[in-house]
Amino acid sequence: MHDSNPSPSSPDPGRERPHRARRVPTWLAILALLIAGAVFAQWLRAAAAPATIAAASPADAARAAPANQRSLDIRVRDAVSGRALDSNLLVHPRGETARVHDLRVTGPGGRVATLAAGEYELVVSASEHAGLSTRVSIDAAQPLPLTLWLPPSQPSDALDLLALKAASCARCAVFSGHVYDQVSGRPLGGAQVRSSQGARTNTDDQGYFELPATLPAALNRDREALPATIELSIAAANHRTQRLLGLPLLNDSRHLIVDLMPGAGSASEDRSHVQTQARQRQDQQRPVSPADAARNAADAERIDADAALDPRRPASVAIARQLAAQAATVPVPASIRVGTNCSGRSCSAVSVYAFEDYVGRGLDEEWIPSWDADSLAAGAVAYRSYAAYYVAHPVNSRYDICSSTSCQAFNADSVAATVAAAAATRGVLLTRDGQTAAFSEYSSENNAWDDPGDGLSCVNNDLSCGNGRNGSPRNNWPCISDEVGRGRGCFGHGRGMSQWGSQRWAANNGRDWKWIANHYFNNNNSPAGLRNAFLANDGGGAPGGDAIVFDAFESGVGRFNSAPTLSGSTTGISTASLAQQDCATRKNGSCSLRVLLKDDPAVATAWAVRLLSGGGTPANNLELIRAGGKIGFWIYTGASGLSASLSIDDSDGTERAIARTIPTGQWTYLEWALDDPAQWNAWAGASNGQIDAAGVRLDAVWLLREQTSFDVNLYLDDVQIAH
């Protein structure tokens, strides 16, 4: 690298400059030191406390930046509502060339960073929100605008409560959202929201709205039909009207974050589902440019040769057998950089999300949210693994993955059903080596038969598997039997999971999400070729073989023989609530424990139900070994907004576990590690927020929910500990 401006302090080679010594007065030297110290202190304050610098616009900062520096426009927003957040932002240079020259406030939630070329880590935090960090690369090109979306520290039940409102009628949908000025970030009160069905409402002073809609009766009954659609129009004074076209109509709730540009006129955005778009375009199967198609192919080929299970490679065979025998643990990224406003893989802005937030918000763009819960959960595993692979192998230095169909479709909307599916499978990935996330491909319809009359685009270049089978042997994806696709024309590439197949296996054949994922990615423990990816981080999905079940409810209520209101710690529910054996609904065996919760209309408090084990007396409960111990249970509910916890009698009091959300409409295994202090809080006695004794006992299962007048039924099965 050549420096065109040599330092003036460098000597001129070949010539020695004559000089004469001259004494400097002592007071001048002291004054010079004081001035230098003041300048240096001011520089330190500018670097360490950038939020105190006067506000400036990102455009002004970009014009003012020297040629060898770049200005990065940074915004911080609430991931649920989209509101601008006052935040603390730290920029850590990584490497000798990286240097922060300036970092100034540009308005609510806004900063502009003036940075030298190099690598940086951004760490952002805000009150009542989880922190977020990401990496930024600065080079000769102007950086893309960056938005960091911070999830609230406490989960919100608002989306689930709206989903309940939609579910109260089989043909109802609920749209909600927040509307903002795109430039300033301020909420737009009084904006008018209208639907193509004629419903209309105005936003409140926080920019919030709710709007009902109705599903067509015929489509609502047809599980094979694509969703009907609706158009929303959002208009505000002195702003460009935004029209959202083709929004899927679901018997669910969808939340939108809408930014309106100042000005006049209108703009339209096609928000129809990927499955719908693909059937309407000339290039029907996930439209991709030739350049992006080449990159996709390169991504598939980039998988290490050992990832393809070849019987002639004993090492890869051994890895597959090991993964099939026991669950692997694979690191899950904390955040993901998503390229937005994309044409193919070329994007004009970047959004950073907490990784699991990305999965919950993006899944509805690939899987149809009205599909069966186990189809959505299987889709969440594939969607999560695909994203984690790209965090490790980014599309480019600016973002890990694009939001278009050239990567994996995504936008900031959230739908209750797909958010729940992501929560139910939180952290579960596919892996081929037990250490990293697998490149988990999927496509719409992977049946290896091209129906010449359906007009759909089959991009599988090897249909040798035949009708009723799935695969692409030419691309190292062996054939498997997949009868649910028989007679369905190929509408995909034959590699990995069939999206429509996942729905048919779940809805029509009763298969759970683990079976579906294992079916498509490892042929149910019969791996070969690239069909050799296994579930990782699945400790919460089912206990190990050495689990001890101490309440299976096969012969009664076991140790849970107390009314839900017996404990004085229980609040919000009435004495009409009950816990009893039920042999109609169960996860394993023949019976489970049914818990019916009824609101106490005399109090207006949230529900906190301490469902005692052994009457809350330690001697009546089984001793649990702390070291390596994990305690959990299966739980099912049709209601939303519920979470569960545990309390444990420890040597110094009673510790209570962190609450875990209970997904709706599916059996879920919830589990807590006894020796992980991060999973426990002090609750009663002299408890200290961690479990100290070698042997402890279960005190109670806790059930938590905001107050509702509706009755809530839930079911517990197989309360157990595993080591």
Evaluate if residue 319 carries a pLDDT over 90. Answer: no
Share of the chain above pLDDT 90, in %: 61
pLDDT at 666: 77
pTM over 0.95: no
C-alpha distances out from residue 707 to 169, 379, 609, 637, 656, Å: 21, 32, 12, 16, 21
Could you give the 3-state DSSP secondary structure of residue 340?
A: strand
247's tokens: 């929004």
Neighbours of 448 (CB within 10 A): 24
The structural domains of the chain, with segments of one domain joined by +, span 69-150, 157-272, 309-333+356-536, 547-722
Evaluate if residue 529 carries a pLDDT over 80. Answer: yes
pLDDT at 659: 92
Domain 547-722 -> CATH class: mainly beta
pLDDT at 40: 40
The answer regarding whether domain 69-150 maps to CATH 2.60.40.1120 reads yes
578's tokens: 């009950």
**For residues 60 and 669, which has the higher predicted lDDT (pLDDT)?**
669
Please indicate whether the domains covering 157-272 and 547-722 agree at the CATH topology level.
no
- Enumerate residues 6+ apart whose C-beta is below 8 A from 418: 360, 363, 364, 367, 369, 376, 380
pLDDT at 42: 43
Among candidate residues 219, 222, 262, the one with its CA nearest the CA of residue 239: 262
| Distance, CA of 613 to CA of 619 (rounded, Å) | 11
| Distance, CA of 249 to CA of 227 (rounded, Å) | 6
Query: Which of 28-32, 451-455, 534-538 is predicted with the least confidence, judged by mean pLDDT?
Result: 28-32
Average pLDDT on 544-553 reads 75
510's tokens: 């009763």
Q: Mean pLDDT of all residues in the chain?
A: 85
* 105, β-bridge pairs: 111
pLDDT at 4: 35
pLDDT at 667: 83
Neighbours of 468 (CB within 10 A): 16
> What angle separates helix 373-392 from helix 499-509, to the nearest 10 degrees?
150
pLDDT at 62: 47
If 0-12 CB within 10 Å is exposed, 13-18 middle and 19+ buried, where does residue 550 land? middle
| Candidates 3.30.750.24, 2.40.50.140, 2.60.40.1120, 2.60.40.1220; CATH matching 157-272 | 2.60.40.1120
Evaluate if residue 316 carries a pLDDT over 70. Answer: no
397's tokens: 């230095």
**For residues 703 and 587, which has the higher predicted lDDT (pLDDT)?**
703
| Distance, CA of 489 to CA of 491 (rounded, Å) | 6
- Give the pLDDT band of residue 3 (cuts 50, 70, 90): very low
pLDDT at 64: 52
Evaluate if residue 440 carries a pLDDT over 80. Answer: yes
Could you give the 3-state DSSP secondary structure of residue 577?
A: coil
pLDDT at 140: 87
- Give the pLDDT band of residue 545 (cuts 50, 70, 90): very low
> Which residue is associated with the tokens 């001129």?
12
Evaluate if residue 12 carries a pLDDT over 70. Answer: no
pLDDT at 18: 34
Q: Are strands 229-235 and 192-195 parallel, antiparallel or unpaired?
A: antiparallel
Average pLDDT on 451-480 reads 93
Query: Which of 136-150, 185-199, 366-380, 623-637 is predicted with the least confidence, judged by mean pLDDT?
Result: 623-637
455's tokens: 């007009």
pLDDT at 546: 58
Average pLDDT on 4-28 reads 37
Evaluate if residue 579 carries a pLDDT over 60. Answer: yes
- Give the pLDDT band of residue 313 (cuts 50, 70, 90): low
Average pLDDT on 465-484 reads 95
**For residues 477 and 321, which has the higher predicted lDDT (pLDDT)?**
477
Average pLDDT on 477-493 reads 94
Query: Which of 214-218, 221-225, 496-500, 700-704 is predicted with the least confidence, judged by mean pLDDT?
Result: 221-225
Could you give the 3-state DSSP secondary structure of residue 674?
A: coil
Evaluate if residue 238 carries a pLDDT over 90. Answer: yes
Q: How would you classify residue 576: left for phi > 0, otherwise alpha for psi between -120 and 50, otherwise beta?
A: alpha
15's tokens: 């010539």
Q: Which range among 57-66, 375-384, 510-519, 654-663 has the greatest average pLDDT?
A: 375-384
3-state secondary structure 275-317: HHHHHHCCCCCCCCCHHHHHHHHHHHHHCCHHHCECCCCHHHH
| Distance, CA of 636 to CA of 461 (rounded, Å) | 43
100's tokens: 């922060």
Q: What is the DSSP letter of 328?
A: B
Q: Are strands 208-214 and 200-202 parallel, antiparallel or unpaired?
A: unpaired
pLDDT per position as a tens digit, 643-679: 999 999 999 999 999 999 888 777 888 999 999 898 9
pLDDT at 512: 87
Among candidate residues 550, 712, 526, the one with its CA nearest the CA of residue 620: 550
